[in-house]
Amino acid sequence: MPHIGIIGAGTAGLHLGLLLRRQDIPVTLYSARSPRDLASSRLLATVAHHAPTLRRERDLGVHFWPVEEYGYTCHHHYVGGDRPLRFRGDFTAPSSAIDDRLYLPALAEAYENNGGELRVGHLEARDLAALADRHDLVVVAAGRSAFTELFPRRDAHSPFRAPQRRLCAGLYHGVHPAEPKGVTLSISPGNGELVEIPLFSRDGHVTALLFESIPGGEQDVLGDISYDEDPALFTRTVLGRLAAHHPDVFQRVDPGRFGLTGPLDLLQGGIVPTVRTDHARLPNGRYALAIGDAHTVVDPITGQGANSASHSAWVTGEEICEDLALDELFCRRVARRRADVVLGAARWTNLMIQPPPDHLLGLLAAMSQNPGAAGEFTDNFGHPDRQWRILATPERTRAFLARHGAGPGSPW
Ligand SMILES: Cc1cc2nc3c(=O)[nH]c(=O)nc-3n(C[C@H](O)[C@H](O)[C@H](O)COP(=O)(O)OP(=O)(O)OC[C@H]3O[C@@H](n4cnc5c(N)ncnc54)[C@H](O)[C@@H]3O)c2cc1C
């Protein structure tokens, strides 16, 4: 049996580790942070898992937060402007958002209970040679900032050199959930977006507000205003931006109760969307394979990173179980099998953070009149490959709308 080394115990590393342990394959996970450290850390992200990821969690025996109680069933949309658009898209199967500070330690525990080895310690590129001697394959699942030199960026798939959105993600009390329970995607043209997510954290059912601000726009102040320096000013500023740009969420706010659930429940910054090479040859001739953010990192606007990481982990695990050798051919097979989903997520997300082309605007307008189209678009948050097939060209978007009976009347 091969012995697999995985660097990183995020969604990518843990889903792969759990899948391999299910087949009794020996695995060592190396992680810079212990699960206990993670549990008490600053907010890591505000992650929604979609139906295919939840299905994988069920298969792995780690669906600890039943979707019937913790999940949500739709996306509510608000597009601001002279004539605002409002519409809903329903999933065929629910999504769910659990704070990674609960989710990842629980999965790490399940992995260890299944006989997986977890070693805590920060690894550097110079450690890879020793790892390659110890393991038949080194899977790098170390997130977006580590081992970047081992996997150079692929320019053809990485159009940006800087973040296109400044992020302000926080967990809040005092927002009444949307009805039916769902995510609200709210667009303020020229300023950015707000993704409001019903999320379960250590404080129970709370509201995640992820502001995606266009640099220089009116929402941009949220990218760096300090909560620690002046919590009241921070809260007033968030409320002000909600009122000005995201009225459908603002109207559900109880101003007397509104506020962050805690000083650590806030994350500000930005992400440079980047696709990297799939694999690298190590000095002893064995291979390192990148999965998750170490391979493809996307802006969180479409909620794809962790779902894509899970898909990549799954494909990798299945190939490890099936293939005859963990060589370059194996790495290429993994790359081919995951490409549609992983690159679909990257291409679709990159489209959403650029000035919107006419066919995207036309699609939004058409979906506001067509629940069938809105439903399929929403369901495709779990299928980024299918979403990209709808959005890649104006002709494809027209064909999609025609399939839903929204023919030549569509508005572009
Ligand atoms: C605000 C925000 C909202 C998001 N919302 C969503 C969403 O709704 N849906 C979605 O699917 N995705 C979302 N994402 C993206 C998602 O969080 C990431 O894509 C996902 O966490 C990537 O998982 P990963 O396992 O690849 O990496 P990570 O979760 O970053 O894990 C990396 C692991 O590697 C370890 N590590 C790092 N460096 C080293 C080292 N040198 N040595 C040893 N170990 C190391 C870390 O300790 C960690 O265990 C969001 C991200 C943000 C920031």
User: 145 CA distance to ligand 1 centroid (A)?
Assistant: 10
User: 132 CA distance to ligand 1 centroid (A)?
Assistant: 23
User: 352 CA distance to ligand 1 centroid (A)?
Assistant: 21
Residues with a CB atom less than 6 Å from ligand 1: 7-13, 30-33, 45-48, 122-123, 141-143, 146, 167, 169, 210, 267, 292-294, 300, 303-307, 309
Q: 71-79 and 85-97 as β-strands: parallel, antiparallel, unpaired?
A: antiparallel
User: 113 CA distance to ligand 1 centroid (A)?
Assistant: 23
User: 293 CA distance to ligand 1 centroid (A)?
Assistant: 6
Ligand 1 pocket test, pick from 16, 18, 31 with the greatest ligand atom count within 8 Å of Cβ, gives 31
Ligand 1 pocket test, pick from 11, 18, 33 with the greatest ligand atom count within 8 Å of Cβ, gives 11
**Cis preceding-peptide flag for 394 (omega within 30 of 0):** no
Identify the residue whose C-alpha is closest to ligand 1 atom 21.
306
Rounded CA gap, 220 and 228, in Å? 18
Contact, 313 vs 33, CB < 8 A?
no
Identify the residue whose C-alpha is closest to ligand 1 atom 9.
303
The whole-model pTM stands at 0.98
Q: Which atom of ligand 1 is nearest to the CA of 167?
A: 1
Q: According to the model, what pLDDT value does residue 122 have?
A: 97
Q: What is the pLDDT along the chain (412 residues), one digit of tens a residue?
A: 899 999 999 999 999 999 999 999 999 999 999 999 999 999 999 999 999 999 999 999 999 999 999 999 999 999 999 999 999 999 999 999 999 999 999 999 999 999 999 999 999 999 999 999 999 999 999 999 999 999 999 999 999 999 999 999 999 999 999 999 999 999 999 999 999 999 999 999 999 999 999 999 999 999 989 999 999 999 999 999 999 999 999 999 999 999 999 999 999 999 999 999 999 999 999 999 999 999 999 999 999 999 999 999 999 999 999 999 999 999 999 999 999 999 999 999 999 999 999 999 999 999 999 999 999 999 999 999 999 999 999 999 999 999 999 865 555 5
Rounded CA gap, 174 and 149, in Å? 44
Identify the residue whose C-alpha is closest to ligand 1 atom 49.
9
DSSP labels, 178-197: PSSSEEEEEEETTTEEEEEE
User: 130 CA distance to ligand 1 centroid (A)?
Assistant: 25
Structure tokens belonging to residue 212 = 């995606």
Q: According to the model, what pLDDT value does residue 410 have?
A: 56
Q: In the 8-state DSSP scheme, what is residue 25?
A: -
Q: Which atom of ligand 1 is nearest to the CA of 305?
A: 19
Q: 279-281 and 287-290 as β-strands: parallel, antiparallel, unpaired?
A: antiparallel
User: 9 CA distance to ligand 1 centroid (A)?
Assistant: 9
User: 256 CA distance to ligand 1 centroid (A)?
Assistant: 34
Rounded CA gap, 72 and 184, in Å? 11
Rounded CA gap, 326 and 376, in Å? 38
Q: According to the model, what pLDDT value does residue 172 have?
A: 98
Q: According to the model, what pLDDT value does residue 406 have?
A: 84
Q: Distance of CA 146 to CAs 10, 115, 117, 149, 294, Å?
A: 13, 27, 21, 8, 7
User: 143 CA distance to ligand 1 centroid (A)?
Assistant: 5
Task: For tokens 């930005």, name the residue.
Answer: 270
Q: Distance of CA 325 to CAs 128, 137, 412, Å?
A: 20, 10, 52
